[in-house]
Structure 1
Amino acid sequence: MQHDLQNTKDEVICETLSTLAVISDAQIAEVVGQIVMKLAFNNSEVIVRKKALLVLKQMIKFFPSLINLEPQFIKKVELTIQRENDLGVIQSLCKLLYEVILKDKNSGVDLKKYQCLSFSLVQIFKRLLTEPTSEVMYHGICMPWLVIDLIKLIPLICIEKREIVSFQSLCEEFLQIGFSDSLFEIPSSQRDIIFSIEIEIIKYSFEFEVKRLSNISISLLGKLLAVNDININYLTLDLLNIASQNGFKESTKKLFAKVIILGNSFDIELKKRVIDTLFSMCDNSNVINICQVYNQMINNEDLIGIKEDLIFKLCILTEKYLKGKEYVDIMMSIAFNGGNYISFELWNRTLRKLYDDQEATKYCILLIEKIIKKNFGSDDFIELCCLILGEYGEYCEDILSLIQTLISKFRFIKDSTKIRIITALMKLLKKFNSIKDLLMNICIEYQYSSNCELQQRIKECLYLIEHPSMIPVVIDSSIYKDTTIEEKTIINEVEGTPSLKLTSTTKIVNKSNVMKKQFKFHFSHSLNPSGLCEKVEIIYKKTMSLNEGIIFQDQNIQIGYRSKVIDNVVGVQLFYGNISSLPITVNVRVIVPHGLTSSLQQDKLTIESHQQMNHIIQFKLNTSFLEPPRLQIDYHFNSTSINVSLPLPITLLKFFKQPTPMISSSLPEQTTIPYLLNINQFQSLFSRYNLIFQSNDQVVETHCIIPTLGEIKIQFKFNLKELSVSSSNEQLNLDVIALILYSLQ
């Protein structure tokens, strides 16, 4: 190629340049780049110079430092602009120059070195608009694509005020063509060329904030919005977006009504652009109107593909500009119309917003009562309502009627919604004792549900109803406010971080060692779905003290768990349910910590759609351990592979057994840690492990046996807020404390 580029025949050079334009990369550009540059600026043939300039433009994309190899590059460009008579070469040079300047701009290079080119470029721009040459006319415009290239290029390097004014005056004169009624009487090809140039000028006026041109541009955009041409409508909305983002939002608002009219189009892409344009135009003065338009669009079946994005934008505007009753109206409307696109983040944000506004909270509860009694709503909407009712249900005017409505629809809703309703009613039980009978009846009716999680929630609810003294302790509303420094101190203490208290019976324990022993939860999912890790950890804490339950679920697979303890062996039966519409192949692996051994019955399963399979794993306790065994599964369906790693709820607490009279109570080693606990909270935890207590107002204590490890005593001194574990094994003390702290978080 080097040889061909130095050939004396122009046709050979042109063929080689055409090839280079296609195959150029960094290595080729480094070898032949300087030869191509000589052809671009020194060859006598127009066609060769034009092709060489375009090849240089292509090479710079792969080898930007090529320009630096020619120290006289800017000088050569300046001379070419001044002397070149062929506008085709000028256009190729402008394309090359634009590419080079953009790279320098993005790299933070000062563009003043290109200022010497601005005068010549403005003069060419002026000649094209005011002194057209018939030989290069294209649909009535002289070299329109060169005009567009110059509109992009000149503002980047033009600094002199005289040149800027001259350039802007020429742009202003051309924009005036767009206001002519005769514009729509000329052939469409010529009109499209004029529109293309005008749109480039309008974009320049907004991006460089040229007020002189922006007012004319806004007026012209208003006229273009009424043009019955879908492509012009696309471009017009895109330009309004640019205007709103560059300081002209106030000017664009007068076109609000015309933008709304375009939203009624049958073209989905146009509707998307309308949504984006309204979002960029929004401020305090028009947020209500825009939110109402968005709310109407949510139910449009044509927009189902962008419903999530629409709801996201609507939530942002509501959070940013609205408060009080207006905020509640819009957010509840989003929740009612949004269906399964409503995320946990929306619920959490709504609760936080209501926390400091009592009037808005009362209005929200009133609105919930009204909507549920009249329309009920989707499962996702009911779940949000129940979350709010659980926190602020005391403002409800007719709680019995509302609960009767919820219960009457119970058999029509999904299990997760049933769980949310039961949870809300458990919280409301603390405030309204009158709902006890209704809650009892629905729990009895569904206590044998096939859904393990629902069954467990109902058992918890029935336990609370039977033990009303536990209700104030267990049911505690979430706090949605900023944490103060004092509260952070208390929270740190509750998480087990304070210094260890030393007493005469307490072995000295280093604080950092205790923190290292603190239980760590490890979960991973190759798709990393939002919120799944938090949900799995919550479920894990529940199942630590249960013999059965659902321990994991994503969009494709559900894993259930059932365990049985015999001495120092735990038998675990895992149930894998395929909830997808395709067969799934599951590869199973179990990783056990030091202290446990395991045996796996079957490590590969093939599960048909909506079917279930199970296998058994046995864990044998050899010595103390803290980290739980981990279940690693790789499941495959429809050429998709997903990896999941989650802990199994097998901890030292799982092996607790009541002592027999044969066991001696000689437990010399004791480890104590101060811990801000509630006595009822402590009793509740260990009642889940079927432990027997001896307690009074000052002390709660229990003895238990861990097979192969011996007897252990757990004691909580309520007045000193001190938790101690004693056995003949110091490490066992620390491990049990870490697990208890984790269980109580």
Structure 2
Amino acid sequence: MPAVKGDGMRGLAVFISDIRNCKSKEAEIKRINKELANIRSKFKGDKTLDGYQKKKYVCKLLFIFLLGHDIDFGQMEAVNLLSSNKYTEKQIGYLFISVMISAHNDLMKLVIQAIKNDLSSRNPIHVTLALQCVANIGSREMAEALGTEIPKLLVSGDTIDAVKQSAALTLLRLLRTSPDLINISEWSSRVIHLLNDQHMGVVTSAASFIEALVKRSPEEYKGCVSLAVSRLSRIVTSSYTDLQDYTYYFVPAPWLSVKLLRLLQNYPPPEDPAVRTRLTECLETILNKAQEPPKSKKVQHSNSKNAVLFEAINLIIHMDSDPNLLVRACNQLGQFLQHRETNLRYLALESMCLLATSEFSHEAVKKHQETVITSLKTERDVSVRQRAVDLLYAMCDRTNAEEIVGEMLEYLESADYSIREEMVLKVAILAEKYAVDYTWYVDVILNLIRISGDYVSEEVWYRVIQIVINRDDVQGYAAKTVFEALQAPACHENMVKVGGYILGEFGNLIAGDPRSSAIIQFQLLHSKYHLCGPATRGLLLSTYIKFINLFPEIKGDIQNVLKSNNNLKNSDVELQQRSVEYLQLSTVASLDVLATVLEEMPPFPERESSILAKLKKKKPSSVPDGPEEKREHKLPQAQMSNNIEVHALPAISAAPLSTPSSTGSADLLGLGAPTVAPSTGGGGGGGLGGLLVDVFDTPTQNGGGMDANGLTAGSDENYRKFICKNNGVLFENDSLQIGVKSEYRQNLGRLGIFFGNKTSFQFTGFTADLVCPGNLGDQLSCQPKPAGEVIECGAQNQQVIQAECVTEFSEAPVLNISYTMSGSIHP
């Protein structure tokens, strides 16, 4: 305890010594129980206890609590210590309260009153102790009672610097725990000008508080940009002797520099030419200092220096407007790719992933391709190897796609299992995106399946089938290549799926070669049949019925397989049903009917790949856009457009929103879209054919305006989707997604409406009002529950609506939504 030595609390020192000298747990508990009984009797029976004795006993209780024992008394004595004028007694009282009393304790009102008294005290030490207690507890009750008093301390000219520091950090804590109760709009300009304070400690504390305010309302505090640039300029251009008290291992005020650089990343590049020029000079100076010889060999010097450097590079990437700075930043990061420090290599790769997406620095990043490939192969840390994969993915374009994909395929054979699935997705995306010759794309995907078949998801092999079906020039090559791949002794089940589908559609293109005749294709596929799971067997049965149409000469062999007991009496209902139906179809149908039913799959509609969506959903932070898909410049959220996307797939729900397929097979991906009957499917036939169609179903877009009825454009179309299903996405734009999950029983219904915040900003003042126009209020009874006024970034709120149909109705209720984001109201 810090107060023992200075105050000479001998009794406390003896007690601590006794506890440390206990030779067993039982002896320690016995000594503690004896002391607790003594303290309890003193608090109850001795009315003459002075402040020193109360402080000593409270310290003992605190020590016992820190040893892990429960304390259920002494709180009132600690509260009484707060009224003492002695620093040590008040300090122990606040310490006990901060550690022992919860935010919902009955004594909290007394504590808050004591804090109010100390905040109005002329003794700055008492004020600081009170602020520290508020910051430690940070309860909502404290925010309500003190939310207007603490800002006055922060901006008052009579407040000393140490109190201002504590006030800023206390307000930051209250803002994080109770943002709706902290409103300092009337003090905003004075708070911003704290960045210009002469005391560096005040500026450092205020910078953290101002950044939190900026994230909540950037437009209101945009005046901080010029002040932050001015303060940063003075720090960067000063020597370590100018800021001696705030210099850390020869680096002037590194913590404040990092805070200011992060603060500036909340805004676009300054519009004022003078401010912009000054900021550019600051960033150039930081890059120049990184090239200077180190002033100290100690690790603290390099750590603080690199912290400022990396934050400056983050700001350069954020602004994305100065080609010279971007290239210099890239070159600086390139020097860290072979640094002996693992953390520096990791951070350099992570930052270069972002630089690779800029048109100004993409070519500079590509110069380090060989170094990154070497890092991928030799790096010992798996997290650094994963960042190397991310960087190769980000720097890839049409000029180096084949080389990068080849290197990633080579590494995939020995890659860590934790990153294989992500690597497979990235290789598949790059191969499709930059394929000039689609035979190369087919080779890449088949190699992926051969090397890491367990990590090749359905989306990957669905996609290659779609591309093969849509491109006549690659169908024969795909059939030949997959036929050769199936001849391997150990063949992954995903390879069998791809082979079965492609040969079922295009096996006739290679049947002219005696080495790949119809009977050989059939025998090759059927040799894998008993080694596969039920889903793959079902696909192969669909391939066999396709073969009857393509190769009538092997009809008998296929019918023998279909009528075998292993299929007709299979315990799997799906396989049994397919065998019976396909056997009957091949026996009864005429050649013309058979040719019509089993005709080749029509081309799929050209749509965006679902593999990229899967990768972004899996790990959005590591999937930067490619060089040909530049990121939009980050602007304050209030300036974002409200274009509406109506998604066929619900991304926000309380549970997976899946529906059965029309053929009775489970919709494995939970897509809930109409499936294709076996007669129109490809080699996948049946439910699998439907799954393929579902996977390539992608969102459509509607405008963000209002229609003639005053509703959001496209809402009527979205509404009609719920005639046939209970779950899905009702509305979506860049910032908000609304999902619906509902269930009905007779005339009663229960709807869960999920409001998802897709932005990095908080929604405040959120309201969702259900309006029943005209006579609908008498026909339909709705009881909505509140959705919650605040939706945090990346989170979702749920609103439950209980509905009862009183009489028949034809109109639909209207959902009116309003919220405030970044200071702008969105109706």
Q: TM-score range by the shorter chain?
A: 0.5 to 0.7
Letter in 2 for 1:401: I
Does 1:254 pair with 2:382? no
1:295 aligns with 2:414: no
CA shift in 2, pair 1:148/1:189, >3 Å:
same
Q: Alpha-carbon deviation of 1:316?
A: 2.6
Q: Distance in 2 between matches of 1:551 and 1:284?
A: 37
1:286 to 2:400 alignment: yes
Alpha carbons 1:387, 1:420 under 8 Å: kept: yes
- 8 Å CA contact 1:5, 1:13 repeated in 2: yes
1:93 equivalent among 197, 206, 209: 206
Quote the RMSD (CA, aligned, Å). 3.5
Offset, 1:9: 2.6
- Find 2:664's aligned residue among 529, 536, 559: 536
Structure 2 residue 562 is matched with structure 1 residue 449: no
1:8-87 correspondence to structure 2 within 5 Å = 8-25=122-139, 27-42=141-156, 43-62=158-177, 64=179, 69=184, 71-75=186-190, 77-78=192-193, 80-82=194-196, 84-87=197-200
Q: Report the CA distance shift for 1:102/1:285 in structure 2 as closer, same or farther (over 3 A).
A: same
Report what 1:205 is aligned to: 316
* Alpha-carbon spacing, 1:393–1:54, altered in 2? closer, same or farther (3 Å): same
TM-score normalised to structure 1 length: 0.61
Distance in 2 (CA, whole Å) between partners of 1:405 and 1:133 is 78
Counterparts of 1:119 and 1:198, CA distance in 2? 16
Say if 1:221 and 1:530 are closer, same or farther in 2 by CA, change over 3 A.
farther
**Letter matched to residue 162 of structure 2:** I
Q: What SS does structure 2 have at the residue aligned with 1:34?
A: coil
Q: Which runs of 5+ in 2 are unaligned?
A: 1-114, 607-652, 668-674, 679-685, 689-743, 747-827
- Contact 2:431–2:444, Cα closer than 8 Å, also in 1: yes
Q: 1:185 to 1:197 in 2, by over 3 A?
A: same
Whichever structure has more strand as a proportion of its residues is 1
Structure 1 portions without partners, runs of 5+: 484-524, 544-549, 553-590, 594-745
Q: Output the CA distance in 2 between the equivalents of 1:541 and 1:243.
A: 44
- Select the residue among 476, 487, 507 that pairs with 1:373: 487
8 Å CA contact 2:663–2:687 kept in 1: the answer is no
- Is residue 358 from structure 1 mapped to residue 472 from structure 2 by the alignment? yes
2:346 alignment counterpart: 234
**CA shift for structure 1 position 221:** 0.9
CA shift at 1:340, angstroms? 4.2
Structure 2 counterpart of 1:172:
284
Residues in 1 aligned to 2:443 and 2:199: alpha-carbon distance in whole angstroms: 65
Aligned position for 1:478: 601
* CA-CA distance at 1:220 after TM superposition: 0.9
- The CA deviation at 1:396 is 2.2
The 8 Å contact of residues 57 and 99 in structure 1, kept in 2 or not, is answered as: yes
- Within 2, Cα distance between the matches of 1:363 and 1:312? 23
2:526 counterpart letter in structure 1: I
Q: SS in structure 2 opposite 1:277?
A: helix
1:404 offset after TM fit, Å? 1.9
Distance in 2 (CA, whole Å) between partners of 1:97 and 1:9 is: 27
Deviation at 1:126, TM superposition (A): 4.0
Give the alignment partner of residue 196 of structure 1, picking from 307, 318, 326: 307
Structure 1 match to 2:822: none
Counterpart in the other structure of 1:346 = 460
Q: Which residue identity is paired with 1:215?
A: V
Judged with a 3 Å threshold, the aligned counterparts in structure 2 of structure 1 residues 230 and 541 are, in CA distance, closer, same or farther, namely closer
Higher relative contact order (CA 8 A, sep 6+): 2
Tell me the residue number matched to 1:5: 119
Output the CA distance in 1 between the equivalents of 2:337 and 2:250: 25
> In the superposition, relative to structure 1, how do residues 251 and 110 fare at CA in structure 2: closer, same or farther (>3 Å)?
farther
Aligned to 2:384: 270
Aligned to 1:394: 508
Cα pair 1:389 1:424 within 8 Å, conserved: yes
User: Distance between the aligned counterparts of 2:211 and 2:676, measured in 1?
Assistant: 61
Amino acid at match of 1:45: I
For 1:331 and 1:531, how far apart are their aligned partners in 2? 30
Residue 313 of structure 2 contacts residue 329 of structure 2 at CA under 8 Å; is this kept in 1? yes
Q: Kindly provide the CA deviation profile for residues 260-318 of structure 1, in whole angstroms up to 9, marking residues without a partner as x.
A: 2222223222222222222222222222233223333444362x233333323333323
CA distance in 2, matches of 1:331, 1:308: 13
Q: Distance in 2 between matches of 1:127 and 1:367?
A: 64
Secondary structure of the 2:409 match is: helix
Counterpart check, 1:219 vs 2:334: no
Output the amino acid matched with 2:383.
E
Identity among equivalent pairs (%): 20
Q: CA deviation at 1:406?
A: 2.2
Once residues 111 and 234 of structure 1 are traced to their aligned partners in structure 2, the CA distance between those partners, rounded to angstroms, is: 34
Change (3 A) 1:56 1:364: same
Partner of 2:235: 125
Q: Which amino acid aligns with 1:477?
A: E
Q: Distance in 2 between matches of 1:190 and 1:33?
A: 39
Q: CA deviation at 1:71?
A: 2.4
Q: State how far apart, in whole Å, the 1-side matches of 2:497 and 2:229 are.
A: 67
Q: CA deviation at 1:177?
A: 3.5
In the TM superposition, residue 388 of structure 1 has moved relative to its aligned partner by 1.6
2:316 partner SS? helix
Alignment deviations for residues 88-127 of structure 1 (CA, whole Å, 9 cap, x no partner): 112112222222223223xxx2655445635642453245
What secondary structure sits across from 2:487 in the alignment? helix
Cα 1:129/1:385, change in 2 over 3 Å? farther
Deviation at 1:252, TM superposition (A): 1.2
The separation in 2 between residues aligned to 1:226 and 1:482, in whole angstroms, is 46
Q: Is the 8 A contact 1:81 1:120 kept in 2?
A: no
Instruction: State the one-letter code of the partner of 1:71.
Output: E
CA apart distance, 1:199: 0.9
Residues 354-381 of structure 1: per-residue CA shift (max 9 Å, x gap): 2332221111011011111235621122
Residues 309-368 of structure 1, C-alpha deviations (whole Å, 9 max, x = no match): 332333332332225212212222233334244444434432332233222111101101
The match for 1:435 is: 554
- CA distance in 2 between counterparts of 1:115 and 1:204 reads 13
Cα offset, 1:19, TM superposition: 1.6
Residues in 2 aligned to 1:65 and 1:311: alpha-carbon distance in whole angstroms: 45
Quick one: distance in 2 between partners of 1:87 and 1:185? Answer: 24
Question: Contact 1:122 / 1:154 at 8 angstroms: preserved in 2?
Answer: no
Cα deviation for residue 231 of structure 1 reads: 0.8
Pairing 1:315–2:428 present: yes
Three-state SS of the structure 1 residue aligned to 2:604 is coil
Distance 1:211 1:174 in 2: 16
Offset from partner CA, 1:426-457 (integer Å, 9 cap, x none): 10211112322432343344344343332332
Give the direction of change, closer, same or farther, for the CA distance of 1:481–1:416 in structure 2 (3 Å limit): closer
Distance 1:67 1:410 in 2: 67
Q: Give the SS at the match of 1:373.
A: coil
Q: Secondary structure at the match of 1:374?
A: coil
1:152 to 252, 259, 262: 262
The residue type paired with residue 430 of structure 2 is L
Cα deviation, residue 254, structure 1: 1.3
Q: Which amino acid aligns with 1:478?
A: M
Residue in 2 aligned with 1:718?
A: none
Distance in 1 separating the partners of 2:493 and 2:657: 21
